[in-house]
Amino acid sequence: MDTATHTVMGIGLGGLATIDPTISPESGAMGTVLIATIIGSQAPDFDTVLKLKNNAVYIRYHRGPTHSIPAVLIWPVLLAAIIYMFSPDIAFSHLWFWSFIAVALHVFVDIFNAYGTQALSPFTRRWIALGVINIFDSVLFFSHLFVFILWWFDVPRAASMIVLYVFLLFYYLWRFQARNIVLQRARRLHPDATHLFISPTYNWYRWHLVIRTPHKLFVTNYRNGRLRYFETYPFEPIPDDPVINAARNDRNLASFLSFSPTYRWIVRDTEEGYEVKFIDLRYRSKGYYPFVAVVQLNQELEIMTSYTGWIFSDDTLHKKLDKGRDFSYYTQ
């Protein structure tokens, strides 16, 4: 989920913590726990700092190790220990417990969108992405804000949060049902489909869907009970081609391939050599595919520059590649 949603969920957990008999809304312990739940709700995304290094490292590891089983166990201990040093007005075990709930809830809700996490690592590095809830869900976000407003009118915090969670449980079940209807419709139309990659959108009744069969990739959109087809591409393994093989040595493309499960590629000649472009087909937006990896090579198949990430215009992509040419490969 997005940062704003994780934040309101952390605040909500702080309200739920008043169910703990050692924590009352007027106590100093309440403020301490609220800090713990807010920070804990953000802790797994602290790997965003990897962007300072480069996009390749960020894409490869974001929602990976920091969302793993060991991390879910380690984050609360670190967080509770640090906060306890400054606010020992609550038992450490209680502070750890609510920190753990905040961290675990963060990782749990992240598996329901199309990006997913490696939540079962180290047992498996498979990405778990259920494709049920959009990265920002208005119901999830604004229902929390509504409950916070109720708090101003002295509605009991813990009780209101329990009611909210029951409501959200039924909301998630409805979203699962809606997703399954889309998948069933796609399977009826393509009984030979080997994989279905589904992504929810801001619109409850619109879904992005990539259908993979043994020979084709169909990029589609499901809306109001109908499947609309945009593009169709041949499905085949990445070829054993000298240009592509050289490009695959690039760290940006390697990160892209470690994350993206469905894509197409384009190889074109340039004045200086070659350009290899991989395009993730899951995130089509207004006719454009914004998540890409591009590698430019010279005639000797040496990498000159590359980029991977979210790009919403060709001009921006060219600027990124020019910057990489100036500061990345030629300065190494």
Tens digits of residue pLDDT in 285-309: 888 898 999 999 999 999 999 888 8
Domain boundaries, the chain: 3-164, 175-234, 242-329
For the cut 80, the answer to whether the pLDDT of residue 51 exceeds it is no
Task: Answer yes or no: is pLDDT of 264 > 60.
Answer: yes
pLDDT > 80? residue 323: no
What pLDDT, on the 0 to 100 scale, is given for residue 52? 60
What pLDDT score does 324 carry? 64
Instruction: Provide the pLDDT for residue 330.
Output: 38
CA angle centred on 327, ends 323 and 328, rounded to 5° = 100
How many other β-carbons are positioned within 10 Å of the β-carbon of residue 315? Answer: 9
Say how far apart CA 138 and CA 62 lie, in whole Å.
24
Instruction: Please tell me the predicted confidence (pLDDT) of residue 169.
Output: 97
Q: What is the pLDDT of residue 69?
A: 92
Report whether pLDDT(70) > 50.
yes
Q: What is the pLDDT of residues 140-193, one digit of tens each?
A: 999 999 999 999 998 999 999 999 999 999 999 999 999 999 999 999 999 999
Per mean pLDDT, which range of 13-17, 54-58, 235-239 is the poorest? 54-58
Tokens 């969108």 — which residue? 113
What per-residue confidence (pLDDT) applies to 287? 83
Geometric angle at alpha carbon 181, from 178 and 182, rounded to 5°: 90
Residues linked to residue 200 through DSSP beta bridges, in sequence order: 207
* Mean pLDDT confidence for 240-264: 92
**Average of per-residue pLDDT values in the chain:** 89
Q: Collapsing DSSP states into helix, strand and coil, what is residue 313?
A: coil
Write the pLDDT tens digit of every residue in 27-43: 678 889 999 999 999 99
pTM here is 0.85
Q: Which residues pair with 307 in a beta bridge?
A: 294
What per-residue confidence (pLDDT) applies to 50? 67
Helix pair 28-40, 69-86: axis angle to 10 deg: 150
Inform me whether the pLDDT recorded for 243 exceeds 80: yes
Task: Determine the pLDDT at residue 285.
Answer: 83
Structure tokens at 227: 């499947």
| Reported confidence tier of residue 329, pLDDT bands at 50, 70, 90 | very low
Query: In which band, very low, low, confident or very high, does the pLDDT at 325 lie, cut at 50, 70 and 90?
Result: low
pLDDT of residue 328: 47
Token pair for residue 95? 């502070």
The predicted model gives 273-287 an average pLDDT of 90
Residue 73 is predicted with a pLDDT of: 94
